[in-house]
Structure 1
Amino acid sequence: MKIFISIFILFLFNACSLKNDKITEVNLKTQTLMFSQKKKIDDENLSFVVTLSYLNPILDEKTKEDEFALQITPNLLNTSHLKAYINDKEAIIVRIKKDSEYLKYLFQNEFTDYFKFSLPSNQNETNLKVKICLNHCFELDFQKYPKSLYYRSEDIDTQYN
């Protein structure tokens, strides 16, 4: 009987810990939405949505770069000429792979292309003007806040504003 109770308690503990990880992942994705902007673009016969997310407030590790995630839906667009600029400086663009750590911050679907781009951070800049060039260019504005305004606690995964 003791063995049965031990196995039951172990199973219950394991189920609770898995649920907690799933909740943490959903919380990260919701926090990413707070630092995201969308742009709908109509281009000849194709209409698509571009979502740009400023990742620095949400990242687990502190970084010396300004990092953004770019999502293009649907993934039918030719992205070979994709360019990104942060405050008129060309950023480094990398396609996010399906097994990437960055996907835990983004809502995912099979019809979206995911990219990460970054540039070394300039501490004196508080406003970030991001220019995305696909078939044509458009700009989105973001603002940096002191880290204390979007600090994520290590004990509990909540954001304090």
Structure 2
Amino acid sequence: PYDFTYMKPHKKSASTGVYMPSVLKEDIELIIAIDSSGSISDEEYAQFLTEVTAIVLQYPQVKGTLLICDAKIQNVIELDASFDPYSVHGGGYGGTSSIPVYEWIEKEKDNNIKLLIYFTDGWIDIPESTPPFPTIWVVTPQGDTSVVERMPNAIVIKMED
């Protein structure tokens, strides 16, 4: 996500007498949620954290927050270049609901985010109202996509074995 601006001309072009725009990097606020319910295996949880690490490394300009949630928010971690997946402690291992994540985003971020990425097995409660931002549901290979596919403004991705 880049744009160009003449508000601050490109420094190297000024010496030629031609003013070119400089690159304006857009900061993106991203929320990533991981399902930590009892139906998520240790292997699936580790795979979720591997994917989160890849996102953080691939897109360093993205500001993000990681939410660990079963039926309630268990952990909130700010994502940056120093993110260490080994320091993430799950918790909960109870029921599954995405509603606390949407409530947290509304309360803490005032729904002012660009995207929610939610890692789950698909056995999850979803909100009745449509959130004002898209949700990418990343579902485990053996997971069920039927619930999350019904949600408006959602993209469903099934992980491969």
Q: TM-score, normalised by structure 1?
A: 0.28
Structure with higher strand content:
1
Q: TM-score, normalised by structure 2?
A: 0.28
